[in-house]
């Protein structure tokens, strides 16, 4: 490439006096009869760079008429800036206008503040705004940091399938994958659909989690992780739920619940530190415009002790809190977000790793505790958002697993390959799933997971 990224220019990677070329999109234009100032951004960092344009340039008139989002190529000398808040600018020698904006008055991302709801209607144009550019860079920084964390800790990244026959979470929230003609479904004698006739010769779905497949590789390579899209057909219209979201799922052999919890804590702190180091420009924007205090919160969390707490103790704390919750609290209920928030925000004021949940509200694969009532499950609850991680030690004892499956109405025969892991060299193991969009929403302070994934998929919405 013959041009420079603005991030490199602003970071001082080019010498003052050097002739440079940059390519990007106009943010603002100010002009008087002698000079024009063109702010150009290329998305490589939060800040644009200013090009100073002298009226001697042949196309000066045209340049002064540029509007937000026109694309340009500017060549000129890199000079130190006299202006406040910017170190460098470009004294332009040529400005090539690459693409104009057809009708600036109706351009949907014109330079004014828009609501996030408005911007959701323009998912194809919103990455051009300060806010969505910053979200995209922070999201990228977090994914790279996650891969780095696991790579440095000796994990193997495993690609688990997107199309699957198993309902890992057993919650019946799967999207069907089928090539059958909906208007002419093949039927069995009893009237049920004949999936033998379908593409895979059986029922197939989009995965809700890569965990079960992940367990197969951890049972050979010791430490693995998956990082990919997962799908849930749950009709939850909340700020924390998507029908398509990304999940990070490590799976660790020879590990118990305490080991799994420690990996979750170490991973979160590692990625918090990475984003503080690498994306302070974007974080400052979120702090100023989106949620006051996000930077301080991250700094605190990066060094905080995550508190371990048993589910049973949490119920006790909630019952004694004197708070009036919308959903009543008693031993055995699944905690709702108001409970999680009370615990993490008001009671502890730090992330909590909540452990040992009642077996009846958890999945079949979680390891039964000695008490026969609870399983070795854990959720990480973060102040300000609630659950961002769910995990567990897995049941490695085949007899206990079979009993549990039958209790939950599952047929062990359907899980033959999963049971094999317990038949051939079974080991204690466990892992967790991090909801990646919940992490990005938390780090940026963005209030809704729909605004931290480029093209959100939610009930009644899959336009772009
Ligand atoms: O607690 P969940 O359902 O756990 C599992 O799927 C396990 N198999 C993971 C494992 O142990 N390998 O989901 C894990 C996380 C949740 O804590 C939440 O952050 C996120 O995934 N999540 C969602 N994020 C966005 N939209 C949804 N609909 C989500 N459902 C779960």
Q: Whose CA is nearest to atom 31 of ligand 1?
A: 435
Rounded to an integer, the average pLDDT of 430-439 is 98
| Alpha-carbon span 229 to 7, nearest angstrom | 30
Quick one: pLDDT band at residue 429, thresholds 50, 70, 90?
very high
Q: Determine the Cα–Cα distance for residues 228 and 356; give it in Å rounded to an integer.
A: 27
Report field, pTM of the whole predicted structure over 0.80: yes
pLDDT surpassing 70 at residue 1: no
CA–CA gap between residue 140 and residue 143 (Å, rounded) = 5
Q: What percent of the chain is modeled with pLDDT above 70?
A: 100
CATH 2.40.50.140, the chain: domain bounds: 6-99
pLDDT of residue 457: 96
The finding on whether 211 has its CB within 6 A of some atom of ligand 1 is yes
Segment holding 219, helix H or strand E: helix 211-221
Alpha-carbon torsion (287, 288, 289, 291), positive or negative: positive
Distance 45 CA to ligand 1 centre (A): 31
Tell me which of 3.30.470.20, 3.40.50.2300, 2.40.50.140, 3.10.20.30 is the CATH number of domain 6-99: 2.40.50.140
**Torsion from C-alpha of 166, 172, 173, 175, nearest 10 degrees:** 60
Using a 6 Å cutoff on CB, does residue 451 contact ligand 1?
A: no
Cβ atoms of 119 and 127 closer than 8 Å: no
The tokens describing 25, both together, are 């999109």
Work out the pLDDT band at 258, boundaries 50, 70, 90. very high
Provide the pLDDT for residue 310: 98
* Residue 100: CA count within 13 A, CB half-sphere: 9
Closest CA to 217 of 443, 441, 429, 464: 429
Ligand 1, residue 168: give the atom nearest the CA: 8
* Residue ID of nearest Cα to ligand 1 atom 30: 241
Q: Would you mind telling me the total number of residues written for the chain in this entry?
A: 464
Would you say residue 96 has pLDDT above 80? yes
Q: Name the residue with the closest Cα to ligand 1, atom 2.
A: 390
Residue 358 CB neighbour total at 10 angstroms: 17
**Comparing 47-61, 156-170, 185-199, 414-428, which segment has the lowest mean pLDDT?**
156-170
Task: Name the segment(s) of the chain with CATH classification 3.30.930.10.
Answer: 130-160+220-451
Q: Which atom of ligand 1 is nearest to the CA of 234?
A: 28
| CA distance readout (Å), 386 to 243, 286, 354, 377 | 19, 20, 11, 16
Averaged confidence pLDDT in the chain? 95
- Choice among 2-6, 69-73, 285-289, 370-374 with the minimum mean pLDDT: 2-6
Atom 24 (ligand 1) nearest CA: 435
Taking residues 21-43, report their average pLDDT.
96
For residues 81-94, one letter each, b for 16 or more C-beta atoms within 10 angstroms of the residue's C-beta and e for the rest, the string is eeeeeeebbbebee
Confidence class for position 112, pLDDT limits 50, 70, 90? confident
Distance CA 249, CA 227 (A): 6
Class for the domain spanning 130-160+220-451: alpha beta
Distance 390 CA to ligand 1 centre (A): 6
Give the model's confidence band at 267: pLDDT under 50 very low, under 70 low, under 90 confident, else very high: very high
**pLDDT value of residue 463:** 84
Q: Whose CA is nearest to atom 18 of ligand 1?
A: 435
The residue whose CB lies within 8 Å of the most ligand 1 atoms, and thus the one to mutate among 216, 224, 245, is 245
Whether residue 433 has its Cβ less than 6 Å from ligand 1 = yes
Atom of ligand 1 nearest to the CA of 171: 3
């Amino acid at each position: 490439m013959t041009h420079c990224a603005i991030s490199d220019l602003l970071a001082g990677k080019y010498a003052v006096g050097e002739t440079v070329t940059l390519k990007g999109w106009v943010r603002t234009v100010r002009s008087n009869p002698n000079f024009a100032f063109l702010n150009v951004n290329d998305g490589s960092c939060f800040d644009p760079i200013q090009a100073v344009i002298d009226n001697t340039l042949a196309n000066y008139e045209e340049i002064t008429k540029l509007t937000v989002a026109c694309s340009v190529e500017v060549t000129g000398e890199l000079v130190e800036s006299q202006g406040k808040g910017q170190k460098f600018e470009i004294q332009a020698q040529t400005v090539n206008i690459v693409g104009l904006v057809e009708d600036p008055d109706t351009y949907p991302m014109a330079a004014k503040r828009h609501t996030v709801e408005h911007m959701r209607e323009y998912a194809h144009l919103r990455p051009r705004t300060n806010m969505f550019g910053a979200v995209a860079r922070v999201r990228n920084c977090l994914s790279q940091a996650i891969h780095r964390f696991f790579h440095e800790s000796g994990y193997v990244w495993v690609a688990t399938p997107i199309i699957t026959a198993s309902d890992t979470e057993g919650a019946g929230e799967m999207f069907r994958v089928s090539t059958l003609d909906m208007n002419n479904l093949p039927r069995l004698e009893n009237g049920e659909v004949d999936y033998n006739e379908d593409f895979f010769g059986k029922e197939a779905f989009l995965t809700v989690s890569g965990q079960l497949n992940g367990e197969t590789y951890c049972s050979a390579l010791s430490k693995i992780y998956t990082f990919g899209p997962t799908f849930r057909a749950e009709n939850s219209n909340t700020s924390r739920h998507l029908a398509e979201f990304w999940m990070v799922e490590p799976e660790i052999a020879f590990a118990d619940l305490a080991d799994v919890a420690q990996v979750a804590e170490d991973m979160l702190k590692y990625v918090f530190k990475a984003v503080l180091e690498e994306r302070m420009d974007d974080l400052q924007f979120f702090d100023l415009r989106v949620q006051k205090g996000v930077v301080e919160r991250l700094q605190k969390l990066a060094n905080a002790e995550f508190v371990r707490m048993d589910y049973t103790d949490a119920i006790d704390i909630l019952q004694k809190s004197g708070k009036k919750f919308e959903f009543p609290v008693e031993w055995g209920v699944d905690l709702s977000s108001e409970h999680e928030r009370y615990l993490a925000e008001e009671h502890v004021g730090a992330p909590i790793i909540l452990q040992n949940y009642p077996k009846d509200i958890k999945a079949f694969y979680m390891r039964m505790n000695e008490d026969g009532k609870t399983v070795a499950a854990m959720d990480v609850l973060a102040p300000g958002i609630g659950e961002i991680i769910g995990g567990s030690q897995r049941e490695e004892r085949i007899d206990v697993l079979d009993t549990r499956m039958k209790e939950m109405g599952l047929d062990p025969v359907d899980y033959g390959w999963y049971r094999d892991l317990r038949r051939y060299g079974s080991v204690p193991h466990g892992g967790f799933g991090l909801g990646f969009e919940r992490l990005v929403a938390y780090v940026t302070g963005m209030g809704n997971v729909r605004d931290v994934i480029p093209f959100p998929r939610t009930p009644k919405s899959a336009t772009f």
